[in-house]
Amino acid sequence: MDKKLKLAIFLIIFILLFLTAWLFSRKNKPGISIKKDNNIYNNLSKPTGSLTSQTDYRVTSVKPLDEDKNVPLDTVIEITFSSQVNLKDIEFAINPQFRYRLETNNNILKVIPENNLAAGTKYTYIVKYKSQTLPSSTYSFLTAGDITNISDTFPEGAAEEEAKFQRENHPDVYLTNQTPYETDSFRVTSEFIGEEAGHFLFTVTSKSPNAKTDFLNWLKSLDLTDETIAELDISYK
């Protein structure tokens, strides 16, 4: 056989063996998998945290009980809510006023006086909601001892402050406290809609052609702005 032919055959065999060995090594060599990891893709497609509904701050019980009498002077007021308390979402105000600190423990708000309460005194307090379309809650109790006459349950201007608070934070709650209301041209009623993050629906019944105009003027007389009125849920009949 010609030497050149032998050399060509040898080179061909050598190349085939080299390619076979190279392909075999690639098959068994660890590398980066391009297979999709379903768990990774699923995690990327889902938010890291779930969206929760607005915290439902409903008072479920108070201690002392509402309208309780002969309450000890060293009493700590405890207000229990239906869910964990967030002081950013509620306000507390009491009259007669005294120095106190607020503490929370899960769904309980504690009002701890710095000194003993006054004897024979009726204390009235309000729990206000900032992020709930719920009316404020009012409670009172009478301490032990000879009764002290108080000319006014709340200090001067307290009613105006309460109305302003509701008007700015929950205009529908503020308005529902003015209803039902009726004039010669319209009648307005309200009802609470929904359980979670609900609101009040106002139904205006016309009694004259000027009913809607008169109703809107009435709303403005209550210091509601055009922007606030536009956000209210109003139904005209």
pLDDT bracket for residue 142 (50, 70, 90): very high
- What are 58-83's pLDDT values in tens digits? 788 999 999 899 999 999 999 998 88
**Mean pLDDT comparison of 45-59, 83-97, 179-193, 210-224, highest-scoring range:** 210-224
- Strands laid side by side in the 108-113 sheet: 59-63, 77-81, 108-113, 100-105
Query: Which helix (DSSP H) or strand (DSSP E) does residue 165 occupy?
Result: helix 158-169
| Cα end-to-end distance, the chain, whole Å | 112
**pLDDT of 7 over the 50 cut:** yes
Mean local confidence (pLDDT), 201-226: 93
Interval 26-46 mean pLDDT: 38
Highest mean pLDDT among 6-15, 107-116, 125-134, 154-163: 107-116
What pTM value is reported for the model?
A: 0.48
The Cα-based distances of 45 to 35, 36, 51, 100 in angstroms read: 17, 14, 15, 48
Pairing of strands 59-63, 122-129: unpaired
Class of the CATH-defined domain 59-166: mainly beta
For the chain, the structural domain boundaries read 3-45, 59-166, 172-236
CA angle 15, 17, 23 (to 5 degrees): 100
Between CA 219 and CA 204 the distance in angstroms is 12
* pLDDT in the model for residue 42: 34
Q: Mean pLDDT over all residues of the chain?
A: 76
According to DSSP, the residues that pair with 113 across neighbouring strands are 100
Q: What is the average per-residue pLDDT within 22-51?
A: 40
